[in-house]
Amino acid sequence: MSLIAKMRPEPGLRVLVTAGASGIGKAIAEAFLEADARVHLCDVSQAAIDTFLELHPDVGASLADVSDESAVDRMFEEVQGRLGGLDVLINNAGIAGPTGKVDEIDPDEWRRTIDIDLTGQFLVVRRAVPLLRAAGGGLIVNISSVAGRLGYALRTPYAAAKWGVVGLTASLAKEVGPDGIRVNAILPGIVRGERIDKVIAARAKSLGRPHGEVEQTYLEKVSLRRMVEPDDVAAMALLLAAPAGQNISGQALSVCGNVETL
């Protein structure tokens, strides 16, 4: 196999993408479809699912909140029924969580962020691992964040969860490596889109500063002085799923333009 061929995932991979109907998840799902994978996705928004299926009617989809164990169980029944197994899990679902000083954060908002961003990833991988093991091996990609390697003032619930995702990834890679299952985390930086716009708006409000001024302070902390695109994250996921990624496991891989601090 040529080096260029090794950069492409093999066709026919059975792929599950959580929160796959919009944002980064949508970019990843569409990238795998372009690579001739069989894709199933879940999302909490039926409207987003419907819009995605209008463009890609052959994709399987489940309405599911990954923090709900019973919903995750139903999703995997649907994955098993539609795909007959699993080769790749993209564990992408997450929320931004609250912005504010730690003594001002509502404990319910803290719990909700941890439930979705960290416990949700656990609930999904615990069901995915047996399917990957039965397939003779496979790949798990947990989506973390550069907040999973940097402190993030005013975003403590989110940062705590994303650090937890990195720990989950490193630990799981050791546990399931002997089964031929590779586990990596992707740490996106400032990704262009609706979510970062809302995050910047919330931070601007918390600090009492203009939106444009706060956005500029974000970019000044990135060595390349630019946001990354959802497709940049999708490209890393494809590489990990390709033969070229067969010996990459237990890694936290930043796709961020080198975010220096948050």
- Supply the residues annotated as catalytic: 158
Distance CA 10, CA 87 (A): 11
Distance CA 92, CA 18 (A): 5
Distance CA 116, CA 252 (A): 20
8 Å CB contact between 135 and 178: no
* CB proximity list for 151: less than 8 A, separation 6 or greater: 159, 262
Residues in the chain: 262
| C-alpha 238: how far from chain center | 13
Q: Give the pair of three-digit tokens for residue 128.
A: 């995915």
- CA-nearest of 47, 36, 259 to 151 is 259
* Helix/strand/coil for 254: strand
